[in-house]
Amino acid sequence: MSAATAAPAAGVRPDARISPRAHLRHTGALVRRNLLWIRQDPESMFDAVLFPVVFTLLFVYVFGGSIGQSLGGGQEAYVQYIVPGLMAMMGMNMSQGVGTGFNQDFNTGVMDRFRSLPIGRGSVLFAKISVELVRMLIATSILLVVGVLVGFDITNWPGLFAAVGLSTVFGSALMWVFLTLGVVMKNAQSVQAMGFLVLMPLQFGSSIFAPPQSMPGWLRNFTEYNPLSALADSARGLMVGGPVAHDLWMVLAWSVGITVVMAPVAIHKFRTKT
């Protein structure tokens, strides 16, 4: 038997030779590996635990009175406004963690080990996304608990679960962007810096923290096309009440578009990175 014929059996098989069932098994094993790593390093959960607490208290008690008055109800009205908005922001901020973690795995040699094994390349990426989604759901749960403690009134439980699901869908789409950054950037600090430059304009140029009616015309036009505005407004409509359909379809369209474009890019960059 020639070396070329024996190579696939002895070395790493290409993804095309790995069955979908094997891909699922590999993904499950890598998810377990990542969860065990979190268990050994509980500090990696600090952002998921503290971020929703700090931001909820900060915006409710610092800005709640003044912005709430513009909503016609004071701090109580602002709580109903900001909690769904923070849920939208949660998905975006937690998505950034997948890029920095992925980059650190490259720099510590973990990814070299993974790529030497006969496993599907996509399994590594899907496992990372799965674990980050778990972290995102934990952060969202903490956000809702803190929101209830400061006065958020949950009146529509089906709408609440729908809003959480919508935020998860959009967050998972954004993870492909940050996975790509994690591959192409040289270090985790560069990934964080690039993420900051992307996140800040999108977050503050949206309807997450304040109604866009008081913004300048050019910024108000930007918020209309900002996917975070659509996510925040659809979450409010589902959880508190109001129009939902247009913003819901916008979020889904953005999520599908980002995934279709960025998922193949992330997988290709991961396969070809040297």
Average pLDDT, the chain: 83
CA distance 1 to 47: 54
List the domain range (segments joined by +) for residue 230: 20-272
Per the domain annotation, does 3 fall within a domain?
no
Nearest to residue 177, comparing CAs of 189, 191, 193?
191
Per the domain annotation, does 218 fall within a domain?
yes
State which amino acid sits at residue 50.
Answer: L
Phi then psi for residue 257, to 5 deg, are: -60, -45
Per the domain annotation, does 2 fall within a domain?
no
Low-confidence residues in the chain, pLDDT < 70: 1-17, 112, 115, 117-118, 121, 274
Per the domain annotation, does 6 fall within a domain?
no
Residue 184's CB is within 10 A of a number of other CB atoms, namely: 16
CA distance 74 to 187: 44
Per the domain annotation, does 15 fall within a domain?
no
pLDDT at 7: 39
Per the CB < 8 A criterion, the answer to whether 253 and 230 are in contact is no
Radius of gyration of the chain (CA): 21
Provide the domain count of the chain. 1
Per the domain annotation, does 83 fall within a domain?
yes
Per the domain annotation, does 11 fall within a domain?
no
Nearest to residue 255, comparing CAs of 163, 131, 171, 161?
171
CA distance 3 to 6: 5
Model pTM?
0.85
Q: Tokens representing 5?
A: 């014929």
Handedness of CA 84, 90, 95, 98 (dihedral sign): negative
Per the domain annotation, does 121 fall within a domain?
yes
**Region class of 215: left (phi > 0), else alpha (psi between -120 and 50), else beta:** beta
